[in-house]
Structure 1
Amino acid sequence: MNTNLHDPLNKLIRLQEERLDQFLDKRRTDLAEGREPDPLGLGVLTMTVPLYCQPDSKYYLDAGLDETMRESLEQFMATQLKSGCISLVNCNIDSPPDTAFMVHLVSLVYQVAQGSGLEQIREIQNGLYTFMEKARPCLLNGGIHTPNHRWVMAGALAKMYEIFGDEAYKDRAFQFLDEGFDMTEYGEWTERSNAIYNGACAIHLYDVGVIFGYEPALEAIRKNLGMMQYMLHPDQSVATEYSGRQDLGQTMMMNDWYYVIYHLMASLDKDPVFLSMAQITEETSPQGASALIHWMLYPESMRLPDHVSVLSDSYTVLLGENNEVPVPRNIPYLGKLVQHPHGASVLRHRRGKLSVTVMAGQPELLYIQYGKARMFGLKLAAGWFGIGAVAFPTIRQTGVDRYSMNIELEGCYFNPLPREHTAGKNGIYVNMPNHLREKTNVQHLPVELDFQLLEDGLEVSVRSSAIPQIYLQAVCMFDPSGELSGDGLEEAAPHIKQLVHGDAVFSREGDCIRVSSGAKQHKDISMRNEKVNRDALNVTMNYVTPTDVTIRFQVYESEGGDRS
């Protein structure tokens, strides 16, 4: 048995053995004490099959796993519908894309069993093969409903082609691939999901690139993985503050998909950035079953060349400069708004423990992290026809470490409709062609934000002077696991403190973000239609136009006294 703890494969074997030990111990305890044990299924097979087939594992050919694997296979097979699909039971029913996720993983576990040549695993191997056979009509005819599903489907079809050799799988994969990749010039996918779906696209497109010899798939991976070097916070968590998917605002590390794809691409390209990112995944990712499976199937492709980290924690990059995305400008806003829209400008600024993200296209326009202290977002809300927080269409660089966001908001009222447009509507407003109403009392409110990046934080200048007596409010949303202090903080409402004068300091474990300075030019607790983040410590500052103020965010460590 290989016991070299510095060998990556051996390390992964030991990790999976520990996880399987814990799972089996808990299952035995639950059964003995009359509790319903955790369900069996494909997840258990991904733990047990690789260890059962791995000569360096203590579970190699362990007869004690036979019943668990058989029950897991039986329960997993029972989830497959007559269509060949499975359901994501809390969301997607009779789902081809969820089946594609599953088939891709099934194919890998199947190949581990097949590659072992063990007669003892043949029943499990045959069952997995049968699952893939039954999934054929699902994958060849089924559709998708999110952009990344196309690449997941293509990856699953590539694995099916590799195993079955049926050209129909390749043809179907290229029906999706021929749509072209939904990626910006700097490597960002439509869904802008740095913690989840970037990795999903990459791991599935790798198989597309290798199995079909399709170089554009590998180029798409390279662009996205290259962008990701700018998307890590000081604790190596992923920038999720502008995601368009369920990882939005979550604190997440790079997952096993990242672990695998950075190792595969670093080995393929010998790219020093990929090598360095792979090294980070070795420290932060879960390194679960997928990691072990890929090391068993592709040991040479997973092995990293010797390298020294080349990643910098001091950079400023503006991605998507001048990209204009749709945001509410004309109130009432009659167009379709895409939340966290594709290609919206993102400014990333790192100085060691300081991490700043400025974001166009969404109301949460600024994220700051210093060590363990985090401000989830800064919003600028306006008392302007119920707009709530303002989103800006783009970010532009205006000088050295200086950037701006601008918008001209329109507000108006509407004239009566001619009789021919209201006839037969019975006076019901929502049934009338209200988009045809002529505007009256049209007004325009320019709002400008300037950002000056600093070594110890940044300054945000807020300017709006065209119309007097308009209420504005800055809302800072801090991590609830930290603490707020400041003589000028007043309780305004549950989850809301107003900074009426002076400074507020947010601190967590010695890392601090100071906000300067407070203002209470009006008494409103929040702007109409502004959604309060009840999962945050909210600090507000109130202004009345004409406004020309600068909010300073200064970061420091509390040890050593006041750093003002």
Structure 2
Amino acid sequence: MDAIYQKLVKINDDYTASTLGRQILDPNSKYVGGVIDETGIARANHMSTPSIMACWASALVNPDSRYYHDEKLLTAFEMAADFILNRQHADGTVSLGSTNYNSPPDTAFVVGGVTQFYQLLEAHDWAAVKPAAAKLKLFLERTIPAMLTGGCHTPNHRWVITAALALLYEIFPMPELVARADEWLAEGMDITEDGEWTERSNGIYNAVSDIALYHTAKLFNRPDLLDGVRRNLNMMVYLIHPSGEVVTDYSGRQDFGETYDMATYFLIYRLMAAHDRNPLFAAMSDYAGTFIRKSEAVNNHALLGMLLYPETAIEDLERAELPERYTLMLNEKHPMEKHLKQIDRVGHHMKIQHSSMHVAFGAPIVRIRDREQSVTIMPLAPSFFSLRHGKVRLLGMKLSTSFSPGIIKFNHLTAAESGYKLNIVMEKGYNGPIPQPFLPEAAQQGQVSPWYLLPHQHRPMTHLQTHEIQAEIVQGDSEWQIRIHSDAREDVFTQLSFILGDEGQVSGEDLADAGDGKYFLKSGGMRYEAEGDAIEISSGAYEHFLPALREDQHPIGCRYVHVNLVTPFDRTFTIRLR
């Protein structure tokens, strides 16, 4: 029997046991039947009670589970079905709870999973489970109006909604469901040739878009939609540190800088490995499966997927060897600058409700891996360089300046003969008076003239100033050299920060402890060590006394070593691997 499958069954059974004890049984509670989550209440979102129901359903119909046909669990499941029906709003939606109320996209996340375990139960030859399955079908039917009319916030929400429409169509074959999906799909795929989705979210939303588009493609007979899924899955092979930690250094979403592994990619790699008979995807599915420790969101539930789609078994498929040594630049040929120049003609003036424009989409990313060493070089991110060396985590290097002010996000990255170059030319000017023809009537008549009613877009720019910073990164034998230099402008306060994992220890002769995990490397070198691996960084400077520059923040949970510089400067920092 598949070892990963056995592991999933055990995880599922253990989670079933622990969640049964959290179900609300008080008949007077509005949350009766729901399962208390980390908020202290029960919710009907895709990470809460519906996700737990996916576990319970997978246990009820699986002969390998110790809860197979368990009457007590079936009673609990039916109560949970009543709960999601009771928490469903009159318009058919559910609320996320932490935000997003009466939310079509969050309802689509739930639909993406409930449709699957409904079909699992409906196909199972056990009369006792049919009343609960009927309640699930009613819940799903009630969501249809919202799925046919509802909007989204983020790029990936579109594909979550199309997946919900496709999965609903399999149960309720209404042509309106196809038509609504076509409206979303007509917007086109937001993915680069090298496989990066708009949100650049390797920890969370890549897998969300991938699994959603897989269902959409299969159920609406749109095999072209799998092209983007393949590209992203191929890209992710190169965005994993040796420990299995996913590269999140440049994410445009909430996984930015947080620790994630490959667990959520297990099912989509397995489904695509079976579909394409792809040995690399099969190997990646095995690898991702080693990180599964808990149940995931309802729409991407590993055991549910294995039970519902037995035809996707890949035990007989050969496995490719996963790469441990490579150097590549992703999105090097993506026409990012060409696209950015087209923004003005679109007419949205960079305003979108409840979302982001994600203008860093398609930025080049350098990934270098040499067994236990892993390096990422990136523009348009708060950090421009990160390194893993065994147990050592240099989470990032960032530059802050008083010119803008704030964190510098280099906007160009190019490969040079000896390494890589990043640069940015910052601009800052002053706003002149609004020309007379554009002034509002109230201002011209001497009435009260609120600042926010003035047409500021017509102010001419005066005294425009520029400031250029460049970084050059060169790999040597067991070391990295990073040269940072400014233009000739004088007296701009600058701070270079080395961001280190808090699990290691720092030391140095001229390393001043600033409290709360922050240090100033005033001169000379320093050492950072974690579990026997170490890096040495040199050399420091303390040319100004500012602890932090305006509009720069240093979140807790890391160690920060700061080097304070004043322009003009031209300094080379060396990171030696020990």
Common topology (TM > 0.5): yes
| Corresponding letter in the other structure for 1:319 | L
Secondary structure at 2:56 match in 1: helix
CA contact (8 A) 2:147 2:161 kept: yes
Aligned-residue offset at 1:488? 1.5
Q: Deviations over 1:333-356 (max 9, x none)?
A: x98795672112211111122111
Alignment partner, residue 184 of structure 1: 192
Alignment of 1:49-128 (within 5 A): 49-128=57-136
1:496 aligns with 2:522: no
* Match for residue 316 of structure 2 among 305, 311, 316: 305
Using the TM superposition, give the Cα deviation of residue 104 of structure 1 relative to its aligned residue in structure 2, in angstroms: 1.2
Distance 1:448 1:160, change over 3 A: same
Aligned pair count reads: 539
Residues 210-258 of structure 1: per-residue CA shift (max 9 Å, x gap):
11121121111001111101110111111111111111111011233x1
Q: Note the alpha carbon deviations across 1:176-206, whole angstroms, 9 max, x for none.
A: 1111111111111111111111111111111
Given the alignment, which residue of 444, 460, 465 partners 2:482? 460
| 1:394 correspondence with 2:412 | yes
Counterpart of 1:269? 276
Q: 2:290 aligns with which of 283, 301, 311?
A: 283
66-75 or 466-475, larger mean C-alpha shift: 466-475
Partners in 2 of 1:21 and 1:71 — Cα distance? Answer: 16
Using the alignment, how far apart are the partners of 1:339 and 1:298 within structure 2?
35
Task: Confirm whether residue 296 of structure 1 aligns to residue 315 of structure 2.
Answer: no
**Structure 1, 521-530 or 470-479: larger mean CA deviation:** 521-530
| Residues 418-445 of structure 1: per-residue CA shift (max 9 Å, x gap) | 4555563446555433443334433322
Aligned residue runs from structure 1 range 142-291, under 5 A:
142-256=150-264, 258-286=265-293, 288=295, 290-291=301-302
Cα-to-partner distance string for 1:351-371 (whole Å, 9 max, x where unaligned): 122111112112322222223
For 2:454, which of 408, 429, 432 is the aligned residue?
A: 432
Matched with 2:471 is: 449
1:520 aligns with 2:537: no
Q: 1:167 to 1:398 in 2, by over 3 A?
A: same
Question: Hey, what does 1:371 align to over in structure 2?
Answer: 390
Displacement of 1:98 after TM fit? Answer: 0.8
Deviation at residue 25 of structure 1 after TM alignment = 5.5
Q: SS of 2:76's equivalent? A: helix
- Say whether 1:538 aligns with 2:566: no
Are the equivalent residues in 2 in contact too, given 1:190–1:342 (CA < 8 A)?
yes
Task: Call closer, same or farther: CA 1:56–1:445 in 2, change over 3 Å.
Answer: closer
- Amino acid of the residue matched to residue 253 of structure 1? D
Q: Compared with structure 1, are the counterparts of its residues 377 and 551 closer, same or farther at alpha carbon in structure 2 (3 Å cutoff)?
A: same
Change (3 A) 1:421 1:178: closer
Which string of whole-angstrom CA distances, capped at 9 and with x for unpartnered residues, describes residues 539-561 of structure 1?
111223332111112222xxxxx
Contact 1:321 1:394 in 2 (8 A): no
Q: 2:20 is matched with which residue?
A: 24
Distance 1:489 1:341, change over 3 A: same
Tell me how far apart the structure 1 counterparts of residues 507 and 122 of structure 2 sit (CA, whole Å): 61
Q: 1:168 to 1:438 in 2, by over 3 A?
A: closer
Q: How does 1:7-18 map to 2 (within 5 A)?
A: 7-18=3-14
User: 1:19: how far off?
Assistant: 2.0
Change (3 A) 1:315 1:457: farther
Match in the other structure for 1:315? 326
| Shift in Å, 1:452 | 1.0
8 Å contact 1:86–1:93 — kept in the other structure?
A: yes
Specify the SS of the correspondent of 1:88. coil
Are 1:406 and 1:447, in contact at CA under 8 Å, matched by a contact in 2? Answer: yes
CA distance in 1, matches of 2:11, 2:111: 25
* CA distance in structure 2 between the aligned counterparts of 1:29 and 1:422, rounded to whole angstroms: 65
For residues 372 and 236 of structure 1, the distance between their equivalents in structure 2, rounded to whole angstroms, comes to 12
CA 1:505–1:122: 2 relative to 1, 3 Å: same
Alpha-carbon separation, structure 1, partners of 2:313 and 2:435: 70
Under a length normalisation based on structure 1, what TM-score does the superposition of the two structures give? 0.89
Change (3 A) 1:137 1:226: same
Q: Structure 1's 481 and 29: CA in aligned 2 closer, same or farther, altered over 3 A?
A: farther
Within the alignment, does 1:353 sit opposite 2:377 as a pair? no
User: Which among 394, 406, 426 is matched to residue 409 of structure 1?
Assistant: 426
Unpaired runs of 5+ in structure 1? Answer: 328-333, 557-564
Separation (CA, whole Å) in 2 of partners of 1:349 and 1:340: 24
- Deviation readout 1:499-529 (Å, 9 max, x if unpaired): 0111122222222232111112233322233
The aligned counterpart of 1:549 is 571
Q: Residue 482 of structure 2 contacts residue 573 of structure 2 at CA under 8 Å; is this kept in 1?
A: yes
Are the counterparts in 1 of residues 263 and 290 from structure 2 also a CA contact under 8 Å? no
The 1:427–1:153 alpha-carbon spacing in structure 2 relative to 1, beyond 3 Å, is closer
**Residue 136 to residue 186, structure 1, CA distance change in 2 (3 Å):** same
Supply the AA of the counterpart residue of 1:406: N
SS in 1 for 2:412: coil
> Is contact 2:282-2:314 (8 Å) kept?
no
What secondary structure is seen at the aligned counterpart in 2 of 1:135? Answer: helix
Q: Which runs of 5+ in 2 are unaligned?
A: 28-33, 37-41, 44-48, 342-348
Helix, strand or coil at the partner of 1:284: coil
Counterparts of 2:479 and 2:136, CA distance in 1: 54
Q: Output the CA distance in 1 between the equivalents of 2:565 and 2:233.
A: 42
- Which residue does the alignment assign to 1:382? 401
1:79-137 residue CA offsets vs partner (Å, 9 max, x unmatched) = 11111111112211111111111111001101110121210100111111111111110
* Aligned counterparts of 2:528 and 2:25: Cα–Cα separation in 1: 44
CA offset at residue 284 of structure 1?
A: 1.0
* 2:4 and 2:290 in contact (8 A); partners too: no
In the alignment, the residues of structure 2 paired with residue 317 and residue 441 of structure 1 have an alpha-carbon distance, to the nearest angstrom, of 42
Equivalent AA in structure 1 for residue 549 of structure 2: M
Q: Once structures 1 and 2 are overlaid, which stretch shifts more, 230-239 or 544-553?
A: 544-553
Asked whether the equivalents of residues 30 and 37 of structure 1 are also in contact (C-alpha less than 8 Å), the reply is no
Q: Which amino acid aligns with 1:350?
A: R
Q: Structure 1 residues 471 and 37, CA, compared in 2 at 3 Å: closer, same or farther? A: closer
Partner of 2:39: none
SS in 1 for 2:206: helix
Contact 2:202 2:246 survives alignment (8 Å): yes
Alpha-carbon spacing, 1:493–1:24, altered in 2? closer, same or farther (3 Å): closer
